[in-house]
């Protein structure tokens, strides 16, 4: 595991260079994408590099981690809407090759993993981390062997995400998420965490016990993970 500690701006630039490197070696790479506030700086950087002609998404296929149950793709808090707003609508990707789990047709979740495998498997999976250690929406206690599935969101996750909705009552109670095994099947992984609120969970994730109670701790067992942290998120590491 490689840990890179820098300012949020530099992290966005450095992580973006990983995509430049990957896509210059493999223009048709399969990208696993994430939502949340954390990857926004990276997505801005990728849009900029794409406009400058330094990276092309023309031949890539993307698979997003998760989606809220009950939100149409056009809902402004759906993760499909988020992805289009922050990245996909601004780069030269083929929209037909972009995938976000459906929060409406829940039966599709059962075939999401095989769809990923048929496409060739994820080359680079991007992750943020929830305050309780969730990755995607895999809440504490999720079995490490899980594939894409339906989950009940914990109160703490709904509270953390309520800032994006008019009120907590509007935050969906369920989501569809890639499983832990789906994430671990990626050939390489980038985890980004920013801010003091993530410092404790980052310490537990990187230096604590590998346990389903801290879903992201499984990343210690992945052969190729890069963790990008700002100084605050890294502040409790030994």
**Binding residues for ligand GLP (CB under 6 A):** 34-38, 65-66, 128-130, 136-137, 157, 161
Residue 59 or 235: the one with the smaller Cβ distance to ligand GLP is 235
**Taking the complex as a whole, how short is the minimal distance between the CB of residue 164 and ligand GLP, in angstroms?**
8
**Is 139 among the catalytic positions?**
yes
**Is 66 among the catalytic positions?**
yes
Of the residues 139, 149, 185, 230, only one is catalytic, namely: 139
Q: Which are the contacts of 66, defined by CB distance < 8 A and separation ≥ 6? A: 35, 79, 101, 136, 137, 175, 176, 177, 178
**Taking the complex as a whole, how short is the minimal distance between the CB of residue 177 and ligand GLP, in angstroms?**
7
Residue 59 or 84: the one with the smaller Cβ distance to ligand GLP is 84
Residue 125 or 157: the one with the smaller Cβ distance to ligand GLP is 157
Of the residues 132, 200, 213, 222, only one is catalytic, namely: 132
β-bridge mates for residue 127, sequence order:
191
Residue 63 or 137: the one with the smaller Cβ distance to ligand GLP is 137
Residues in the chain: 238
- Residue 159, SS3? helix
**Alpha-carbon 29 to chain mean position:** 16
**Taking the complex as a whole, how short is the minimal distance between the CB of residue 1 and ligand GLP, in angstroms?**
18
**Taking the complex as a whole, how short is the minimal distance between the CB of residue 51 and ligand GLP, in angstroms?**
24
The candidate with the shortest Cα–Cα distance to 152, out of 95, 228, 224, 70, is 70
Of the residues 99, 113, 134, 230, only one is catalytic, namely: 134
- Residue 18, SS3? helix
CB 113 within 8 A of CB 59: no
């Amino acid at each position: 595991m490689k840990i890179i500690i820098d300012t949020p701006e530099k992290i966005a630039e450095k992580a973006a260079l990983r995509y430049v490197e990957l896509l210059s070696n493999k223009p048709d790479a399969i990208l696993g994408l994430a939502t949340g506030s954390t990857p926004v700086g990276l997505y801005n950087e990728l849009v900029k590099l794409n406009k400058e002609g330094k990276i092309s998404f023309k031949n890539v296929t993307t698979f997003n981690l998760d989606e809220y149950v009950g939100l149409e793709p056009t809902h402004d808090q759906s993760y499909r809407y988020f992805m289009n707003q922050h990245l996909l609508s601004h780069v030269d990707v083929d929209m037909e090759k972009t995938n976000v789990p459906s929060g409406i047709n829940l039966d599709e979740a059962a075939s999401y993993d095989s769809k990923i495998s048929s496409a060739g498997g994820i080359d680079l999976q991007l992750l943020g981390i929830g305050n309780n250690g969730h990755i995607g929406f895999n809440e504490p206690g999720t079995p490490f062997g899980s594939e894409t599935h339906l989950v009940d969101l914990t109160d703490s996750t709904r509270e953390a995400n309520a800032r994006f909705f008019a009120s907590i009552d509007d935050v969906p109670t369920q989501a569809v998420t890639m499983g832990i095994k789906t994430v671990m099947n990626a050939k390489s992984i980038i985890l980004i965490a920013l801010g003091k609120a993530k410092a404790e969970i980052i310490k537990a994730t990187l230096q604590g016990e590998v346990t389903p109670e801290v879903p992201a701790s499984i990343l210690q067992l992945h052969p190729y993970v890069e963790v990008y942290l700002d100084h605050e998120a890294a502040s409790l590491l030994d």
